[in-house]
């Protein structure tokens, strides 16, 4: 079975090039078993399932963020493999459509059952937080504005079997109002007011995200590039935990 999932996790993005860097980083936390961490493409493409198993041995809950996007059969077969890993969350792109999302859910369930593990939460990526409204209109040629596009994709994800979506905090009020509270909203692009936004276009503070309905947040550079990651994590966790 997978690790139990915190009700409102603060997920740390493990944006490192090597497994050794990851292990050095995580050893700075006295209780890594209390952490939820995000493994992305960079680490997984280099090490594959081995890096997942190494981090699981430290007790961390794992958000495997690979953003699958392909024809339904390919996605179903890939998610069947990922479902065996005992991770807590996986991602797909909602732009793949309802048939792809349904196939992803089937594959994930099949793989988890084969491994006798809990089925990971399936999260659909809406629009990346690096996409600006201008990029949405001029590069993706989308006729909807950003909020309507994200809400539309979230409805699609919910109806096709996702447990939640990845979204910027700016769309949260509309999502909660139109999609509902019985759905997970995982929000990257989180920064304290004292931290730089970097390449994120649609950012918010932990307090704002929690107030507007986020069920989880993802924090990267402000923690993983901090000279003191433990205290940096504690600052974000304190802000995130405020009601």
Catalytic residues, by residue number, are 67
70 labeled part of a ligand binding site: yes
Q: Check whether 73 is labelled as a binding-site residue.
A: yes
Distance of CA 28 to the CA centre of its chain: 23
Residue 238: both structure tokens together: 């304190």
Structure tokens at 43: 């680490």
Q: How far apart are CA 210 and CA 3, in angstroms?
A: 23
Q: Is 74 annotated as a binding residue?
A: yes
Rounded to whole angstroms, the Cα distance separating 5 from 111 reads 19
Q: Is 129 annotated among the ligand-binding residues?
A: yes
Annotated binding residue 38: yes
- 79 marked among binding-site residues: no
Asked if residue 95 belongs to a known ligand binding site, the reply is no
Question: What are the two backbone dihedrals, phi and then psi, of residue 193, each rounded to the nearest 5 degrees?
Answer: -60, -25
Distance CA 140, CA 57 (A): 41
191 is in an annotated binding site: yes
- The annotation status of 148 as a binding-site residue, yes or no, is no
Torsion sign (Cα): 29, 32, 38, 44: positive
Would you say 15 is a known binding-site residue?
yes
Positions of E strands within the chain: 10-13, 36-39, 61-68, 89-93, 121-125, 164-166, 184-187, 216-219
Residue 67 counted as an annotated binding residue: yes
Question: Is 72 annotated in some ligand binding site?
Answer: yes
Phi-psi region of 76 (alpha: psi -120 to 50; beta: other; left: phi over 0): alpha
- List, as residue ranges, the binding site for substrate: 15, 38, 65-74, 129, 191, 200, 220-221
- List, as residue ranges, the binding site: 15, 38, 65-74, 129, 191, 200, 220-221
């Amino acid at each position: 079975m997978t690790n139990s999932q915190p009700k409102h996790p603060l997920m740390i993005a493990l944006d490192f090039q090597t497994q050794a860097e990851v292990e050095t980083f995580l050893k700075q936390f006295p209780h890594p078993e209390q952490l939820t961490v995000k493994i992305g493409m960079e680490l997984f493409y280099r090490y594959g399932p081995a890096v997942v198993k190494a981090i699981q041995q430290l007790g961390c809950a794992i958000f495997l963020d690979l953003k699958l996007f392909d024809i339904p059969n390919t996605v179903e077969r890939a998610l069947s493999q990922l479902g065996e890993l005992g991770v807590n969350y996986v991602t797909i792109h909602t732009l793949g459509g309802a048939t792809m999302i349904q196939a992803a859910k089937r594959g994930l369930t099949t793989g988890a059952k084969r491994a006798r593990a809990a089925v990971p939460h399936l999260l659909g990526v809406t629009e990346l937080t690096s996409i600006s409204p201008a990029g949405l209109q001029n590069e993706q040629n989308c006729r909807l504005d950003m909020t309507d596009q994200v809400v539309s994709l979230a409805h699609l994800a919910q109806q096709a079997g996702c447990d939640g979506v990845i979204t910027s905090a700016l769309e949260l009020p509309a999502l909660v109002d139109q999609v509902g509270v019985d759905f997970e909203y995982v929000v990257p692009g989180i920064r304290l007011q004292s931290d730089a936004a970097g390449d994120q276009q649609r950012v918010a503070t932990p307090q704002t995200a929690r107030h507007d309905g986020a069920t989880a947040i993802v924090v990267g550079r402000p923690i993983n590039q901090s000279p003191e990651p433990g205290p940096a994590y504690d600052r974000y966790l304190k802000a995130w935990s405020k009601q």
